[in-house]
Structure formats: C-alpha cells, structure tokens
Amino acid sequence: MIAVEPADAVLAIDIGNTRIGLGVWDGDGLHDTRRVAVSRPDDWKPAIEQAWGTIAQRKPAIVIGSVNPPGTVRMQELAEAVSGVSVLRVRDDLPLPMPLDLDNPSEVGVDRVCCAAAAYDRVGGACSVASFGTAITIDCVSPDGHFLGGAILPGFELCCDALHTRTAQLPRVSPRAPNTTFGKNTHDAILNGVVYGMLGALREIVERFATDLREWPHLVITGGNAPLIADLADFVDAVVPDLCLIGIALAHRKAAGQT
C-alpha cells in the first residue's frame, strides 16, 4: 500500500464485466455519474475526459475498483493519459474499505466489499447489500462492520440467456416486471420464473442472515435491475444507485484519513 494524500474530489471508476461506471465524489456526495459499455472501448476515453473536466482544477484523485483485470489495465492507461495523475486501485494501492471475515480474503471481488462498505457507512449497523448486475451478489455486514460474505447467483440476463441457448424451443426473454402470477404462455412463464425466483432467493438469503445475526440486517440494493426488485419487494429498505462508486470513493477517503 502507498501513502495517500487527501483529495477535494475523487473520480471513482467501477469496472465490471459488462459496464464501467464513473462518478465524482466530493463534499456534495456522488454526482456526474455516467456509464459506458465494456464492449465499446472507443467510448471510454470521452467518458474519462468528461468526468475529469469537472474536477481537474481542484485537488483531485482517480480511483479504480475492478473485477475485470484486462479492462483495468486499459482504463488506467487512459485515465493517466487524460489526467496526468497516477491512478490508484482499490486492493492494489488502497486497502479494502472494511475488514473481512472470510476463508480466502483475496478471492472476494472488490465490488462486493465496496458496496458493503458504502451500505454500512450509510446504515451504521448490521446490513445486507444485494447488487443486481451481470451476477447477483447478496452479502452481509456484521453490526461492528465486518464483511461476512454471502451468496452469488446468476443475474437476470444470464438466466434468460441460459434458458434460451441451452434449450431447443424456449425464447429469449428480457427481464421486466411480470404481468400475472400465472404464466399462461412460455414467455410469461420464463419471466415469472426468473423474476420471482430472484425475489424469493433474495428473501430467503436475507432471512438466513437475520437468523444468524439475531436481528434483521437493513437491506440495501443496487444495480441495474434493483428498481425492478424494489417494486416487488416490501422488505427492501433502500435502493441506492451507484453504491459501488460510493464505496470506491470511501476506500480513498479512509486511506487518506478523511473519515
């Protein structure tokens, strides 16, 4: 780890398997967020330039949190070329933003820990955080702020793709809120199975967290399909877009002694 200087503003970059998120964190919280597709690398540099332009005249920092090693290398090169500053990476240059209670701490994704740390910073107590992206992760944080681990499931699109590509006749279905409890055609039956199945998995896993903790962990959800789940689940306590970007910025603030 390296010595980290305090910053007036942090450009946080979240590199996933499908999308890259960018956002600026400062005294006003997270703002100027944007998304680019991993599959469209020509869009990366303009997104960095736009985000950097909002903080270049201040005392800035750029921090990457990533679960995509090839994307990390390219994004770091672009960000350093655009900004002229050294880019920091969570885990490689900055400590993870919360302690881990895991068998193999090196295996856990930076995104999971950053989301969990941001949720805990918001709640201030036991919490669970579910991120609905390419994969769905459902994790738990202890009352004293330790990452306890959780569960990983295939995301909505992965489930729909698998049903279509691994069968002879099932159609490709795009996730959306079901219209009916009873799937009276193949399309609606698949939609019900995927959406209600994910909803049931979320409830079951968080209830098991609650049983072991002996209290209900405040449930925070994030990710592209979080609003779909929140509309169907009365047990979700908060929907926080861009939770991982908030956690990436939090990692820098902690390392710089700004929290």
Task: Compute the distance between CA of residue 158 and CA of residue 221 in angstroms, rounded to an integer.
Answer: 19
The residues annotated as belonging to the active site are 111
Task: Compute the distance between CA of residue 197 and CA of residue 169 in angstroms, rounded to an integer.
Answer: 21
Task: Compute the distance between CA of residue 10 and CA of residue 94 in angstroms, rounded to an integer.
Answer: 13
The answer to whether 136 and 155 have CB atoms below 8 angstroms apart is yes
CB 170: neighbour CB atoms within 10 A?
16
Give me the DSSP letters along 161-175: HHHHHTSSSPPP---
Pairing of strands 19-26, 29-37: antiparallel
Task: Compute the distance between CA of residue 69 and CA of residue 82 in angstroms, rounded to an integer.
Answer: 20
